[in-house]
Amino acid sequence: MAPDNPRPVILDVDTGVDDALAIALACRLPELEVIGVTTVAGNVDQRQATENTRRVLHFLGAIDVPVAPGMTGPLVRPHQDARAYHGPNGLGGFELPPSPGRMVGAHAPEFIIQAAREHQGELDMICLAPLTNLAVALRLEPELPRFLHRVVVMGGAFTVPGNITPYAEFNIWVDPEAAAIVARSELPVTFVGLDVTTRVRFTREQWERCRGLDHAEARLIAGISTWAFEHRQVDSYALHDPLCVAALAVPSVVGLDQAAVTVDTGLWNTVGETRLLRGDGARPEHLIALDVDVERFTVLFSETLGLPLA
């Protein structure tokens, strides 16, 4: 049953394939009201991420959702993208029509601060990309933790190997300094890392079932998955970002632990490694997803988007 009043949320994205599916899920879930999308350099450069985000929103009929472009690179290090994984255009090579929608003039960190103040502590954020925008917003407004209700972060690999190096998950690895600023802050963060996101997957068999269906969500997932199944020739790929949307809308989809988080910002091969700190003095504590109800997520994802996955 739809809730009386959906929660206002900002998505922070580097639209990419799984970001696009997360945007679709967030726009369709009755528990959430997407009041804006901020973009950042990550899977692709910021300009491409912004264009992809506008096109996905338009394709889904959500053209009144404002898009605020953000940081064009990490705080310190050069930007390294993931086009090999997401395809040259970041959407698996799928060409979406351009969006006529307007762009907000505000820069992403300012947009986040303004929206957080306006929603007086009721605003949630779902961060699905390197944390550069959120780190800058924290530096611009140190009181930001008082104005945000919950921040779900797709990031980290706490009990499993990384996906971009054996130690690091991509969003953290691209901008470890930004991730360290967020992890050390008093923001109410829920980290949803590879420990759980690699367990929710979209398979080649499910893709075959979606192809040929003509509603927007089916055409989107079928189109943007082409690069994975035809070029990369994988049997499945992880739905990292959509799980974070589900974890905010239906928190019981994941099992949560509590710990402080450290991020390796060194110059060695372990850069971007995320570790849990427990016990006396381990502050500030955040929530960490270490378990996931795969079946429950799959039903939520497929029923919300009208896809034959379960």
Q: Taking the CB of residue 143, how many other CB atoms lie within 10 A of it?
A: 11
**What part of residues 223-252 is at the interface with ligand RIB (CB under 6 A)?**
240-241
Residues forming the site for Ca ion (CB under 5 A) = 14, 16, 19, 128-129, 241
Out of ligand RIB, Ca ion, none, what residue 163 binds, judged by CB under 5 to 8 A for its kind, is: ligand RIB
Q: Among residues 141, 169, 195, 273, which is the contact residue for ligand RIB, using CB under 6 A?
A: 169
How many CA within 13 A on the CB side of residue 83? Answer: 12
Ranges of H-type helices in 46-175: 46-59, 83-86, 108-118, 132-140, 144-147, 170-174
- Shorter beta-carbon distance to ligand RIB: residue 40 or 147: 40
| Active site (annotated) includes residue 107 | no
Q: Minimal distance in Å, beta carbon 228 to ligand RIB? A: 12
- Shorter beta-carbon distance to ligand RIB: residue 19 or 45: 19
Out of ligand RIB, Ca ion, none, what residue 170 binds, judged by CB under 5 to 8 A for its kind, is: ligand RIB
Q: Taking the CB of residue 76, how many other CB atoms lie within 10 A of it?
A: 10
With contacts defined by CB under 6 A, how many residues of the chain interact with ligand RIB? Answer: 16
Q: Among residues 43, 198, 225, 265, which is the contact residue for ligand RIB, using CB under 6 A?
A: 43
Q: Minimal distance in Å, beta carbon 142 to Ca ion? A: 26
Q: Minimal distance in Å, beta carbon 170 to ligand RIB? A: 4
Question: What is the amino acid identity at position 178?
Answer: A
Q: Among residues 48, 53, 171, 298, which is the contact residue for ligand RIB, using CB under 6 A?
A: 171
217 binding ligand RIB? (CB under 6 A): no
Q: Among residues 111, 147, 158, 170, which is the contact residue for ligand RIB, using CB under 6 A?
A: 170
- Shorter beta-carbon distance to Ca ion: residue 14 or 81: 14
* C-alpha 85: how far from chain center: 16
Out of ligand RIB, Ca ion, none, what residue 45 binds, judged by CB under 5 to 8 A for its kind, is: none
Out of ligand RIB, Ca ion, none, what residue 169 binds, judged by CB under 5 to 8 A for its kind, is: ligand RIB
Residue 98: which residues within 8 A CB-CB, separation 6 or more?
54, 55, 58
128 binding ligand RIB? (CB under 6 A): yes
- Shorter beta-carbon distance to ligand RIB: residue 40 or 141: 40
Stretch that binds ligand RIB, among 11-19, 61-69, 267-275, 284-292 (CB under 6 A): 11-19
- Shorter beta-carbon distance to Ca ion: residue 42 or 66: 42
The catalytic residue among 86, 119, 240, 286 is 240
Q: Among residues 8, 36, 42, 66, which is the contact residue for ligand RIB, using CB under 6 A?
A: 42
The Cα–Cα gap between 99 and 38 comes to 16
The residues binding ligand RIB (CB under 6 A) are 14, 16, 18-19, 42-43, 82, 128-129, 154, 163, 169-171, 240-241
Query: Would you please indicate which residues are annotated as catalytic (active-site) residues?
Result: 240
